[in-house]
Amino acid sequence: MEATTSRPTVVTVIGWLFVGYGAIGILGSLMAVVWILLLRKLGAAGFPGMQGEGSPLAAMTRASGSVVLQSLGRLLVSALVIVTAAGFLRLRPWSRAALEVFSWLAAAYTVISGVIAIRWVPHAMGGMRQAQMPPEFERVFAVGTIGISVVMMMVMVTVYALAIWALRLPAVRQAMSGGQAQTAGEPSASA
């Protein structure tokens, strides 16, 4: 009879969720690079709205280098998450700790980037005043941007906290330590 390794359902669910997370990260990174390449092409073609220093699209084009760099970093991290999740699905002991460290770092990154987004609002408001946007629009923009940033921060940190909690479950720890890994047909210690 062929030996198989039993894996608790919770390990399977967590592992595939991390694979999905990594796949979405790769897709998002690739889409950001495609978007930047499109912006550059539109700017080079003299597309209306891409010209002039005050143009929002021209500003996005100028920032495209950092966006591409961030996207490549996200692509690398996402690929590492997929590789680590595959190790997790194979019950490799190192993978649980690696996914937990990733979750802690991702939670910290989420809070830091959320705070940066919130602090960016006054800068954006100054640009709107120069563009002579109505004051009502400025208030809606400020409240909306801060509100969305706070909600997204809370949601993502909650997701990472749940991942950390799940990675620390006794069934997961036991499976990663080899306690759940037994061959088919062998009686368990409790039988």
Q: Is the pLDDT of residue 182 over 50?
A: no
> Confidence band (pLDDT; 50, 70, 90) for 41?
confident
Q: Is the pLDDT of residue 127 over 80?
A: no
Assess whether 75 and 128 both reside in one domain.
no
Q: Is the pLDDT of residue 188 over 50?
A: no
Task: Please report which residue ranges of the chain form alpha helices under DSSP H.
Answer: 9-44, 56-62, 64-89, 93-130, 135-167, 170-176
Q: What is the pLDDT of residues 43-64, one digit of tens each?
A: 666 666 555 665 666 666 666 6
Supply the range of the domain harboring residue 159: 93-180
Q: Which residues of 87-114 are buried (b: 16+ CB within 10 A; e: fewer)?
A: bbbebeeebbebbbebbeebbeebeeeb
Task: Give me the pLDDT at residue 60, please.
Answer: 65
Assess whether 43 and 54 both reside in one domain.
yes
Q: What is the pLDDT of residues 70-117, one digit of tens each?
A: 889 999 999 999 999 999 999 999 999 999 999 999 999 999 988 887
Assess whether 83 and 132 both reside in one domain.
no
Q: Is the pLDDT of residue 132 over 50?
A: yes
Task: Answer whether residue 190 is part of any domain.
Answer: no
